[in-house]
């Protein structure tokens, strides 16, 4: 399938991830009496990946995340020549999702942008965690996320169950990381809301590119080097 078609799928898929996950946080998490809280937001992010994995996994692989794309390339599961087009598509999808979500949210009387589901550390961390805690959490959680993706999609893994494992993994990761950074593990997911919030969110955005990419690339190298080097061939 052409890279253009795969980019289109990645764009729509990343739109769904940001609109669904961040939308749950912005529109539903704190709603009086019906607020879904951290658990609901974590589940929402997991469901976006699970549903899109079944919808577009056969088209683009359903990365929805620049860190995942780079990690899979480092793990010899994805062609390096297609990394940049995928990341561009993911960023477009995330930015459009954030803008659509903002257009909906601002219709509420007395609406204030606030954090708008942006990722942050220090005074912008939900739990007040400092930069080093945020950095470590994002590296470790992204490492585990990519490791699970590599294992669940290995050709020797049970067929057809990868989206469930990956979606549940993202849910668990959010349950761990939301109090620390609002949980990113995805530079595109972080960039979309940061564009709307501006200021501090853009100033701290570097961490939510550096840490997830470092964790994912390390996981790709580790998994491929120890368990997959003889079974997975570079494309």
Residue 158 carries which DSSP code?
Answer: P
Whole-model pTM: value is 0.93
Please give the CATH number for the structural domain made up of 3-228. 1.20.1080.10
Q: What is residue 109's predicted lDDT score, i.e. its pLDDT?
A: 87
Q: Which residue, 194, 33, 208, is CA-closest to 113?
A: 194
Residue 125 carries which DSSP code?
Answer: S
User: Is 51 within 8 Å of 62 (Cβ atoms)?
Assistant: no
DSSP per-residue letters across 59-124: HH----SHHHHHHHHHTTSS-GGGHHHHHHHHHHHHHHHHHHHHHHHTTSTT---TTTT----GGG
Q: What is residue 91's predicted lDDT score, i.e. its pLDDT?
A: 98
Burial degree of 213 (CB within 10 A; 0-12, 13-18, 19+): buried
Q: What are phi and psi of 154, to 5 degrees?
A: -60, 145
With tokens 């620390």, the residue in question is 180
152 C-beta neighbours (distance < 10 Å), count: 18
Q: What is residue 110's predicted lDDT score, i.e. its pLDDT?
A: 82
Contacts of 58 (CB under 8 A, 6+ apart): none
DSSP reduced 3-state for 1: coil
Residues of the chain with pLDDT under 50: 231-235
Integer Cα distance of 80 and 89 in angstroms: 15
Q: What is residue 182's predicted lDDT score, i.e. its pLDDT?
A: 96
Residue 128 carries which DSSP code?
Answer: -
| pLDDT tens string 137-157 | 999 999 999 999 999 999 888
Helix H or strand E segment including 191: helix 187-197
User: Is 19 within 8 Å of 100 (Cβ atoms)?
Assistant: yes
80 C-beta neighbours (distance < 10 Å), count: 13
Q: What is residue 228's predicted lDDT score, i.e. its pLDDT?
A: 75
């Amino acid at each position: 399938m052409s890279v253009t078609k795969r980019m289109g799928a990645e764009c729509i898929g990343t739109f769904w991830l940001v609109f669904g996950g961040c939308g749950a946080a912005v529109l539903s998490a704190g709603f009086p009496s019906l607020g879904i809280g951290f658990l609901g937001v974590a589940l929402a992010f997991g469901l976006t990946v699970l549903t899109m994995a079944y919808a577009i996994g056969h088209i683009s692989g359903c990365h929805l995340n620049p860190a995942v794309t780079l990690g899979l390339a480092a793990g010899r599961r994805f062609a390096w020549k297609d990394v940049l087009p995928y990341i561009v598509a993911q960023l477009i999808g995330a930015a459009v999702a954030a803008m659509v979500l903002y257009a909906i949210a601002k219709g509420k009387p007395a609406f204030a942008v606030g954090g708008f589901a942006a990722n942050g550390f220090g005074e912008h961390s939900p739990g007040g965690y400092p930069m080093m805690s945020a950095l470590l959490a994002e590296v470790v959680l992204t490492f585990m996320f990519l490791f699970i993706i590599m294992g669940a999609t290995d050709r020797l893994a049970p067929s057809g169950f990868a989206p469930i494992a990956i979606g549940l993994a993202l849910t668990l990761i959010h349950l761990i990381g939301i109090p620390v950074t609002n949980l990113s593990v995805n530079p595109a997911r972080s960039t979309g809301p940061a564009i709307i919030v501006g200021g501090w969110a853009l100033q701290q955005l570097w961490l939510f590119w550096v840490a997830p990419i470092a964790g994912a690339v390390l996981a790709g190298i580790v998994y491929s080097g120890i368990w997959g080097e003889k079974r997975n061939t570079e494309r």
